[in-house]
């Protein structure tokens, strides 16, 4: 069952949400009464004030339930049809039962090209089908869509609406009815003729943004009274804000979160923050974003609660900085755009709509011609409540940010984007430098090749290559973790996504694609999900440049999946000598712990002796995880006196092998103080991803002078920006080779050794 939320976020309230819609009672009553009394009413307000929510969850339910109106909500957004044909189609779809008129008058055959006749015909059928109703009300939400049609189509719509609002049958219909009666005076019964002659009980509501109000002048020729009854929806006042926030949180019901309250300090902070702009407006969409933050916070707290807590409060500490909410809103909108449009849109908004920290309007012609942002994209950003359009003094349209509260967060996001792009530029330049240096070293190394190293590589190449796995590893302090909180089965599987960032993941979004193709996202914040479909889910992380990384997991019908393998983090610390010469492990006795191997075949042959595929031969329990380090002596070249370690990861009855070379520094000035290793299992399911981190500490002096550890005066983290991991399989064994890109200052006298390896099972 789909989760029900107390706050819809940026989407408008729907009719089913009317029990959650608060703060607009006065507007609902006034607008409803105006519609009851008048034939044509215009609802107008700025974008983001909540016109659609007011209609869906307030006015329309009141008209239906209290005023006994039949209501049809129409959107003129179908580009394949002109507005009149679209309205005819919507009216026809509302006439699902037959009346005497449908049996005696086939409008599609007898007046196939008369649109006004068709509008009256279907409106009359609706009136006949609902004889007990007081009126039939047509609501045109987002009526500004009409004025994106061709001018002749706008005129045709105005003409057709004028005929419809006259409430009488068009002349063409009256003439046809006369012909039928003249040919057969009993063709219609007397009561049927009376019903046909009865005027339509029609009401019409046009709802549109205030920047399009002037466009209604194009309809005055056909509808002279179009401006006569206009209702302006104003921004929320302070008391309305409190009502709209507090009341939904107190409703009992089957919601995603338990009921909760807001503390007085957070309410004061919200009111102060929302009115801290020069125009002092409080807009509905901002309020819903805050409500959504509160609900997700309480939902997470409920899941983590150890006891049956019955009282939950949302505090100022929970709210944090509201700028973070607006920044998340901005990032989510940008992430929802096609990849090729994201960067140009961000640059346009950040560089052109904000000048010296102030939002500024820009006319449509400049935006489309100079900045190459099409009008369709501008309108999409207006619908997403990121931009607002206004008529300007020269008779065209200008666009600006929808609210002052967005300026600071967008500038902050822009600064992060620039820093990130600069980092990637420096990394790219560094990679090019490393590439040229490697080519130079390889050229020199041709004269003195390392035969042992070449033998290992040749051995790896002999393995049949089933597939090549490419993993992207982010800086060590950044992570995105997907966790299944309950057993993965079809009944309400709960999962969480947690993002931990310093700077590497700034600008990233993630989304979850369900087995049926529906998309949960894009998201920019920690969140919880209810997953109930059988099949494969895909989690995709996308950066601001459009680069994506995906992982999959599976939900099966049976609720007894294999549990995750236990692991420790970290396991322990081993000295360099222990790892090289004294591996203590379940393979002790099979692998000679007193010798340093010189040939990878020796290790493989020794492992074969204990039959790696037979769990009974392993000296540890099933589901345990062990790490074993075995030294490989390597003939040094002039430029590389590097010791190799073959690390074995033992998991269940499988052996994972991969090479973990030490830093490339002269052995005379190299001493590894310790090695720590840790395993993390961020994904559950059939495919398990192990991430292994090796940490150590070494010091070196490139001037040829050995410096004691205690005198080291500079510490630099050994950074790993990414690895390309090639996977070679052979029976139960998997081999890995790594291409590392590293960055560190050679002037540092002490460094940390920190690498992350990914292993796919």
The predicted structure's pLDDT at residue 230:
93
Digit-coded pLDDT (tens) for 375-401: 888 888 888 878 878 776 566 788 888
Topology at the third CATH level for domain 488-555? Immunoglobulin-like (2.60.40)
Give alpha helix (H) positions in 498-635.
576-581, 600-609
The predicted structure's pLDDT at residue 30:
95
Digit-coded pLDDT (tens) for 43-70: 999 877 889 999 999 999 999 999 899 9
Average pLDDT over residues 355-382: 85
* Backbone φ/ψ region at 253: left (φ over 0), alpha (ψ -120 to 50), beta: left
Q: Which of 482-486, 593-597, 693-697 has the lowest mean pLDDT?
A: 593-597
| Band of pLDDT at residue 435, cut at 50, 70 and 90 | low
The predicted structure's pLDDT at residue 140:
96
- Percent of the chain clearing pLDDT 90 (strictly above): 18
Q: Is the pLDDT at 177 greater than 50, yes or no?
A: yes
Q: Is the pLDDT at 466 greater than 80, yes or no?
A: no
Q: Is the pLDDT at 658 greater than 80, yes or no?
A: no
Q: Which of 200-204, 248-252, 432-436, 673-677 has the lowest mean pLDDT?
A: 673-677
Element (H, E) at 527: strand 527-531
The predicted structure's pLDDT at residue 644:
46
The predicted structure's pLDDT at residue 624:
46
The predicted structure's pLDDT at residue 106:
84
Which DSSP string do the residues of 341-397 spell out, in sequence order?
HHHHHHHHHHHHSEETTEE--EEHHHHHHTS---HHHHHHHHHTTSEEEEE-TTSSE
pLDDT greater at residue 622 or residue 242: 242
Q: Mean pLDDT: which of 95-99, 261-265, 494-498 is highest?
A: 261-265
Among residues 611, 760, 596, the alpha carbon closest in space to that of 687 is found at 760
What is the C-alpha separation between 274 and 287, in angstroms, rounded?
8
Buried b (16+ CB within 10 A) or exposed e, 331-367: bbbbbebeeeebbebbebbbeebbeeeebeebebeeb
Digit-coded pLDDT (tens) for 498-555: 665 544 445 667 778 888 777 777 777 666 667 777 777 787 777 655 666 677 767 7
pLDDT greater at residue 573 or residue 148: 148
Among residues 618, 616, 625, 661, the alpha carbon closest in space to that of 643 is found at 661
Among residues 684, 687, 679, 644, the alpha carbon closest in space to that of 756 is found at 679
Average pLDDT over residues 62-89: 88
Q: Are 541 and 497 spatial neighbours (Cβ–Cβ below 8 Å)?
A: no
The predicted structure's pLDDT at residue 652:
46
* Backbone φ/ψ region at 179: left (φ over 0), alpha (ψ -120 to 50), beta: alpha
What are the structure tokens assigned to 273, written together? 């923050």
What is the C-alpha separation between 524 and 512, in angstroms, rounded?
12
Digit-coded pLDDT (tens) for 91-142: 988 887 888 888 888 888 888 888 889 999 999 999 999 988 899 999 999 8
Among residues 190, 188, 195, the alpha carbon closest in space to that of 169 is found at 195
The predicted structure's pLDDT at residue 122:
92
Average pLDDT over residues 218-231: 92
Average pLDDT over residues 593-603: 42
pLDDT greater at residue 65 or residue 573: 65
pTM of the complete model: 0.54
Residue that is written with structure tokens 């939904």 in the block: 248
Please identify, in words, the CATH class of the domain defined by 24-166+200-232: alpha beta
Q: Is the pLDDT at 413 greater than 50, yes or no?
A: yes
Q: Mean pLDDT: which of 33-42, 301-310, 739-748 is highest?
A: 33-42
- Percent of the chain clearing pLDDT 70 (strictly above): 56
Q: Is the pLDDT at 655 greater than 90, yes or no?
A: no
Mean pLDDT rounded to a whole number for the chain: 68
Residue that is written with structure tokens 């801290």 in the block: 276
The predicted structure's pLDDT at residue 454:
43
The predicted structure's pLDDT at residue 57:
94
What is the C-alpha separation between 201 and 221, in angstroms, rounded?
23
Q: Is the pLDDT at 212 greater than 50, yes or no?
A: yes
Query: How much is the CA Rg of the chain, to the nearest whole Å?
Result: 35
What is the C-alpha separation between 695 and 572, in angstroms, rounded?
11
The predicted structure's pLDDT at residue 222:
93
The predicted structure's pLDDT at residue 399:
87
Domain boundaries along the sequence of the chain: 24-166+200-232, 488-555, 573-760
Q: How many helices (H) and strands (E) does the chain have?
A: 22, 29
Q: Which of 101-110, 141-150, 721-730 has the lowest mean pLDDT?
A: 721-730
pLDDT greater at residue 548 or residue 707: 548
């Amino acid at each position: 069952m789909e989760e029900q939320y107390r706050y819809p976020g940026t989407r408008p309230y729907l009719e089913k949400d009317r029990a959650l819609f608060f703060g607009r009672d006065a507007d609902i009553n006034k607008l409803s009464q105006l519609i009851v009394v008048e034939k044509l009413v215009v609802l107008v307000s700025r974008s983001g004030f909540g016109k659609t929510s007011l209609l869906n969850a307030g006015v329309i339910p009141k008209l239906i339930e209290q005023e006994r109106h039949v209501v049809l909500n129409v959107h003129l957004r179908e580009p394949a049809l002109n507005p009149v044909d679209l309205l005819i189609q919507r009216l026809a779809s509302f006439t699902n039962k037959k009346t005497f008129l449908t049996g005696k008058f086939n409008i599609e055959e007898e007046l196939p090209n008369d649109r006004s006749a068709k509008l009256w015909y279907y409106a009359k059928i609706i009136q006949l089908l609902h004889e007990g109703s007081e009126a039939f009300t047509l609501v045109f939400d987002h009526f500004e869509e009409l004025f994106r049609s061709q001018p002749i189509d706008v005129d045709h719509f105005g003409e057709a609406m004028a005929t419809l609002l006259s409430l009488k049958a068009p002349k063409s219909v009256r003439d046809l009815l006369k012909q039928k009666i003249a040919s057969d005076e009993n063709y219609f019964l007397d009561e049927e003729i009376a019903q046909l002659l009865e005027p339509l009980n029609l009401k019409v509501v046009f709802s549109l943004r205030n920047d399009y109000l002037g466009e209604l002048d194009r309809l005055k020729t056909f509808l002279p009274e179009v401006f006569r009854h206009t209702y302006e929806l104003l921004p929320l006042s302070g008391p309305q804000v409190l009502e709209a926030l507090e009341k939904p949180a107190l409703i009992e019901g089957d919601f995603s979160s338990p009921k909760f309250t807001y503390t007085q300090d957070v309410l004061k902070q919200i009111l102060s923050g929302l009115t801290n702009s020069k125009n002092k407006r409080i807009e509905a969409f901002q309020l819903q974003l805050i409500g959504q933050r509160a609900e997700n916070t309480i939902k997470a707290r409920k899941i983590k609660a150890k006891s049956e807590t019955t009282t939950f409060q949302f505090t100022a500490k929970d709210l944090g900085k509201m700028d973070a909410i607006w920044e998340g809103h901005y990032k989510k909108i940008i992430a929802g755009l096609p990849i090729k449009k994201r960067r140009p849109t961000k640059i346009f908004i950040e560089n052109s709509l904000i000048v010296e920290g102030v939002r500024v309007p820009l006319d449509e012609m400049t935006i489309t011609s100079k900045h190459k942002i099409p009008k369709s994209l501008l309108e999409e950003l207006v619908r997403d409540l990121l931009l607002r359009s206004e008529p300007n003094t020269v008779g065209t349209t200008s666009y600006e940010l929808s609210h002052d509260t967005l300026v600071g967060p967008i500038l902050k996001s822009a600064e992060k984007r620039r820093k990130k792009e600069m980092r990637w530029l420096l990394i790219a330049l560094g990679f090019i430098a490393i590439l040229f240096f490697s080519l130079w070293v390889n050229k020199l190394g041709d004269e003195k090749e390392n035969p042992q190293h070449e033998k290992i590589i040749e051995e790896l190449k002999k393995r049949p290559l089933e597939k090549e796995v490419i993993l992207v590893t982010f800086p060590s302090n950044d992570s995105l973790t997907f966790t299944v909180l309950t057993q993965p089965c079809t009944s309400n599987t709960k999962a969480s996504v947690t993002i931990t960032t310093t700077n590497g993941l700034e600008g990233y979004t993630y989304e979850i694609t369900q087995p049926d193709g529906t998309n949960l996202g894009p998201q920019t914040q920690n969140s919880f999900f209810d997953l109930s479909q059988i099949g494969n889910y895909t989690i995709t992380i996308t950066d601001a440049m459009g680069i994506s990384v995906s992982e999959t997991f599976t939900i099966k019908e049976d609720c007894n999946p294999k549990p995750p393998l236990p692991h420790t983090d970290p396991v322990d610390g081993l000295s360099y000598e222990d790892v090289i010469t004294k591996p203590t492990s379940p393979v002790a006795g099979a692998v000679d712990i007193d010798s340093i191997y010189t040939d990878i075949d020796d290790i493989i042959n020794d492992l074969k002796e204990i039959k790696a595929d037979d769990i009974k031969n392993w000296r540890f329990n099933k589901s345990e995880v062990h790490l074993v380090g075995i030294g490989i002596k390597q003939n040094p070249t002039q430029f590389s006196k590097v010791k190799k370690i073959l690390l074995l990861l033992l998991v269940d009855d499988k052996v994972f092998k991969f090479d973990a070379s030490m830093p490339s520094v002269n052995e005379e000035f190299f001493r590894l103080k310790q090695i720590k290793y840790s395993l993390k299992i961020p994904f559950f399911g059939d495919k398990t991803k192990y991430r292994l981190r090796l940490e150590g500490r070494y010091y070196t002096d490139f001037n040829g002078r050995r410096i004691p550890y205690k005198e080291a005066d500079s510490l630099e983290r050994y950074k790993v920006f990414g690895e390309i991991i090639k996977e070679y399989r052979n029976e139960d064994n998997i081999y890995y080779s790594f291409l590392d890109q590293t960055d560190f200052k050679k002037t540092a006298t002490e460094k940390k050794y920190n690498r992350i390896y990914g292993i796919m099972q």
